[in-house]
């Protein structure tokens, strides 16, 4: 895509790669980067040729967090935001987290080098987080005198539990990939030179073997079920089973399984999502 200055965007073989692209600043997070990331996710989600998104960082680091080169937190382009004058202002990391949360496509975050502050919170709504063995991670907000953002207080406890979230968020300490893997924050850990290959291998597996409509439905259900009772989830799943069981994708899924071949799913998110979804 033309016009981006702080991210890269490209599509190949059903996989959109969105790259944080300020390597000279260790991909320090800015308002411009936040808005470009949100735009790139919009583009990927609307493109039926995109099945999976890989989110990565240019250079040795994924993102060191907010760009502090100006000596403080620049929250709006050119000036610091004042709460009293912008009561509805959405902070920059949350602009990306909320968009990721609403995606219909799976997102794989490949965390190389440092991923701290906003550089980690924006990945919490991704579906898979892979990291290099030497990655350094941290929710460092309390050590900078600010509150955590990126919807981290909602997302992180759901991923790793309340006790671990308390540890990481209150201490603000930096931790390694092995600790993050053991806690369930990471899907897998890889040697630095193999990290991106592993992310693309996972992306290719999703492209080759899963139905985009079924993935979109399952992804949203896994989030929305937290706000429902068990009975409500059962009622919605029952409707979705009926709606999807008669689809051409379901027929192809069964036929390809019986014929021992890779499936060729024709359904698209833009046209074939069941109309009864409460979040659509």
Q: Are the C-beta atoms of 72 and 30 separated by less than 8 Å?
A: no
Owning domain of residue 229: 211-272
Domain total in the chain:
2
Do residues 5 and 34 lie in contact, with contact meaning Cβ atoms separated by under 8 Å? no
Residue 215 has pLDDT above 80, yes or no: yes
pTM of the model: 0.92
Domain boundary among 207, 238, 259: 207
Among 179, 207, 235, identify where a domain stops. 207
266 within a domain of the structure (yes/no): yes
Residue 219 in domain: yes
**Per-residue pLDDT reduced to its tens digit, 224-248:** 898 899 999 999 999 999 999 999 9
152 and 76 share one domain: yes
207, 231, 258 — which closes off a domain?
207
Let me know if residue 2 belongs to a domain: no
138 with 223, same domain?
Answer: no
Does residue 70 belong to any structural domain of this protein? yes
Instruction: Give a yes or no: residue 279 inside a domain.
Output: no
Q: What is the Cα–Cα distance from 26 to 7, expressed in whole angstroms?
A: 13
Q: Give the CATH number for residue 230.
A: 1.10.12.10
- Tokens representing 252? 């192809």
- Model pLDDT for residues 16-37, shown as the tens digit of each residue: 999 999 999 999 999 999 999 9
pLDDT band at 70 (very low <50, low <70, confident <90, very high): low
CA proximity to 152, closest of 164, 143, 136, 144: 164
Pairing of strands 188-190, 114-116: unpaired
**In this structure, is residue 280 part of a structural domain?**
no
């Amino acid at each position: 895509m033309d016009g981006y200055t702080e991210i890269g965007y490209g599509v190949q073989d059903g996989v959109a790669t969105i790259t944080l692209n300020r390597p000279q600043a260790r991909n320090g997070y800015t308002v411009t980067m936040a808005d470009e990331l949100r735009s790139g996710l919009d583009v990927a989600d609307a493109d039926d040729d995109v099945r999976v998104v890989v989110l990565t960082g240019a250079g040795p680091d994924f993102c060191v967090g907010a760009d502090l080169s100006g000596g403080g937190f620049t929250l709006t382009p050119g000036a610091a935001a004042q709460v009293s004058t912008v009561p509805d202002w959405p902070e920059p990391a949350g602009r990306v987290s909320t968009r990721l949360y609403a995606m219909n496509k799976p997102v794989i975050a490949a965390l190389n080098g440092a991923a701290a502050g906003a550089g980690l919170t924006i990945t919490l709504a991704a579906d898979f987080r892979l990291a290099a063995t030497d990655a350094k991670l941290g929710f460092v907000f309390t050590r900078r005198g600010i509150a955590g953002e990126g919807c981290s207080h909602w997302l992180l406890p759901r991923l790793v539990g309340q006790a671990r979230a308390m540890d990481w968020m209150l201490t603000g300490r930096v931790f390694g990939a092995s600790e993050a893997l053991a806690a369930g924050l990471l899907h897998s850990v890889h040697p630095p030179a193999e990290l991106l290959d592993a992310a693309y291998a996972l992306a290719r597996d999703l492209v080759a073997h899963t139905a985009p409509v079924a993935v979109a439905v399952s992804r949203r259900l896994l989030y929305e079920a937290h706000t429902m009772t068990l009975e409500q989830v059962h009622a919605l799943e029952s409707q979705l089973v009926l709606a999807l069981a008669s689809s051409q994708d379901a027929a192809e899924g069964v036929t390809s399984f019986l014929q021992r071949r890779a499936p060729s799913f024709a359904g698209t998110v833009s046209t074939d999502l069941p109309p009864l979804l409460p979040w659509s």
